[in-house]
Chains A and B, each alone.
Chain A
Amino acid sequence: MSQRFLFALMLIASCTFLLFIYILPPNPLQKFIFAILCLLFDLIAFSTKLYMDFLVPMLKMRGRTIVVDDEEAFVLAPSGEAITVRKGGDIFASAFVKIPSYRSGTEMTPEEKVEFAKLFGRALTITNRPVRFGAQLYVINKDKYIGNIRDKLNEVEERYQRATMNKDISKGEAERIRGEVTMWHNLLDNVNKVKSHALDAFAMITEQGNTEEEAVTLVTQQANELVAGLSSIFGIAANVVVGEDILRYIEPDYMIPVVTETEQLRGKIAEEGV
């Protein structure tokens, strides 16, 4: 249901009650009730201007939660080049373009800095579609790295346990395995101490289509145009982000990876405990 349609509908309802007030025989209570209804619909009509997204879900409220959408926020397209979102009958596809830049302000002359800043002005007008340019500082994903260290630690600890029970293994060999356990423990603790960050610049573009395939095809075309434009303006190799890497730009648990964060929290708690 479009916002303008709902506004018109509510306004008509309000006007109908207003008409009742004017044409009904003089019964003050009846007229007063109609006046309240008229004002209520009048207020709802105006609210559609800004609160359209919440009005209909509000009617289907569960407890004290307005559920605007109970589906996943997006779906990753099968090609992995875009994400799709369904809003009512419309399907929107969004693609992300990574803008790698390896230049730093510290190695530029004042003139180069001005030129570099002006390039952004040119980049904004590559396309006449709405584009979101972003620069994000995110926590480097050490989940796999931490996982590997933990696996190694478990393996070495098990080996050490076996060694302590096995009388055939020499004392020196057992000591060596114990040293290995300490090493992996230290490595895991050190990972917890520092949170490493990385900076990424990206552009996002959206296209609407009647079907998911259409929307994805359209947005991929637009993204490729953006890639060409950004690459020529900045002299870099921009590229369309594919697959799981997209999630880093949209999902908070990929911006701050779970295992990396949990390890950090564990380290913090252990430190506080000590």
Chain B
Amino acid sequence: MDEQTTLYIGSTSFIAILIILNSGSFGDFWLIAVALSMAVILVIFLINYADYVLFPIFTIVTGIKISPARNYYIPRTANAVVKYTNGLYYATGYLSANVYNYVFSAESIDTSEDAKLGEAPDKWERIVMNANFPFRFNFVSVTEDVQTYREELEGIRGTYEFRLAKEEQAATPSELTMEDLRRKMSVVDARLSRLGAGERPVNSIMYIESTAVGVSEKEAMDALNNQLNNLRTLFGLFDLSINRIIGREVYHLFSFNYSLPEQETLTTIFSTQR
């Protein structure tokens, strides 16, 4: 959890807790006050950790549409952006495409990674050949400042070193904990050496979008659902975690077509995908 989230959750939950503590002064309403406060705390956590569930529920129940720009609207299912023009409906939907990091465990590039890279162009061409409909694969990247990232890694390494030394000096040192800390340190070391070799750290967001057209909203949405399901199958060739994007993030991805935000905003918007 980043600092901002901690501050937001901490301060707002604290206010709700203060009301619970003072519930005695509400007389006969004390139970309702406690229940409401607990509900607020629950909703705060739901917004933070599962807003992709909460947001569509809210729009479906209230029947609210969102219009992000002229001629465009996000229907109440909050899973697509629809454009109505020239008597046709264009529905655009999104899939997240997060890559599993091949080098997380050892953080060293082995030969199998090269083999996977070598297969990538062929796999991509196979996807393009089999997709008989328009789609777009997007990769938003932001390079981090090398010095800041190095300092951050060195700080993390220092923490692990301190914890390892403390564990070693303990009366009954846990071999399991020490092994885990050593493994984490080797990961950080490998990252530091990759930085030393000239690699630059990159933050990235990947997503796939597809557009379907129809003479009615339903026809366009049905065609879109089919296309997105096809894309999920086709991109299964890569080791990607593919999920349909619904809710608030649909609006943000729509706005990415016209302007990209700063790195700070990018990481806030997609903090759960980081």
Interface residues of A (CB under 8 A from B): 7, 11, 14-15, 18, 21-22, 26, 28-29, 31-32, 35-36, 38-39, 42-43, 45-47, 49-51, 53-54, 61, 64-74, 83, 85, 87, 92-94, 104-106, 108, 110-111, 113-114, 116-118, 124-125, 127-139, 195, 197, 199, 204-206, 249-253, 255-256, 258, 261-262, 265
Contact = CB atoms under 8 A, between A and B. Distances in A.
B53 interface: no
B26 A68 contact: no
B235 interface: no
Contact of A50 (B47, B86, B122, B128): B47
A273 B258 CA distance: 41
B32 A32 contact: yes
A45 B12 CA distance: 8
B19 A132 contact: no
8 contacts: A31-B25, A42-B40, A46-B8, A111-B118, A113-B117, A134-B138, A135-B136, A255-B136
B3 interface: no
Given A18-B15, A42-B15, A206 B260 contact: yes
Contacts of B213: 252, 256, 261
B137 A54 contact: no
Given A105-B122, A253-B86, 20 more contacts: A28-B29, A29-B27, A32-B32, A38-B19, A42-B15, A46-B48, A49-B268, A65-B73, A105-B125, A110-B118, A114-B114, A125-B202, A134-B139, A136-B137, A205-B260, A206-B259, A249-B257, A252-B90, A252-B213, A258-B86
B215 interface: yes
B163 to A, nearest CB: 31
A137 B131 contact: yes
B19 A131 contact: no
A139 B212 CA distance: 11
B143 A128 contact: yes
Interface in B61-114: 62-70, 72-73, 83, 85-86, 88, 90, 92, 114
Closest CB pairs A-B (n = 4): A28-B27, A105-B121, A73-B69, A252-B90
Contacts, number: 243
A104 to B, nearest CB: 7
A7 B251 contact: no
B175 interface: no
B141 A69 contact: no
Contacts of A255: 134, 136, 211
B68 A68 contact: yes
A252 B121 contact: no
Nearest to B269: A50
Given A53-B251, A104-B125, A135-B137, A68 B66 contact: yes
A73 B72 contact: yes
A65 B5 CA distance: 29
Nearest to B257: A250
B248 interface: yes
B237 interface: no
Contact of A113 (B122, B139, B211): B122
B88 A26 contact: no
Given A15-B15, A32-B33, A205-B260, A256 B211 contact: yes
A73 B70 contact: yes
B36 A35 contact: yes
B64 A108 contact: no
Contacts of A22: 22
B62 A64 contact: yes
B162 interface: no
Nearest to B28: A28
A265 B215 CA distance: 9
Contact of A36 (B18, B36, B72, B204): B36
A102 to B, nearest CB: 13
Contact of B64 (A21, A66, A93, A125): A66
B218 interface: no
B43 interface: yes
Max chain A Cβ within 10 angstroms of own Cβ: one of B132, B139, B251: B139
Nearest to B37: A39
B70 A42 contact: no
A262 B114 CA distance: 45
A128 B262 CA distance: 11
Nearest to A135: B137
B134 A35 contact: no
Nearest to A258: B86
Given A21-B25, A92-B259, A128-B143, A133 B138 contact: yes
Contacts of B167: none
Interface in B2-36: 4-5, 8-9, 11-12, 15-16, 18-19, 22, 25-29, 32-33, 36
A101 to B, nearest CB: 10
Nearest to A126: B143
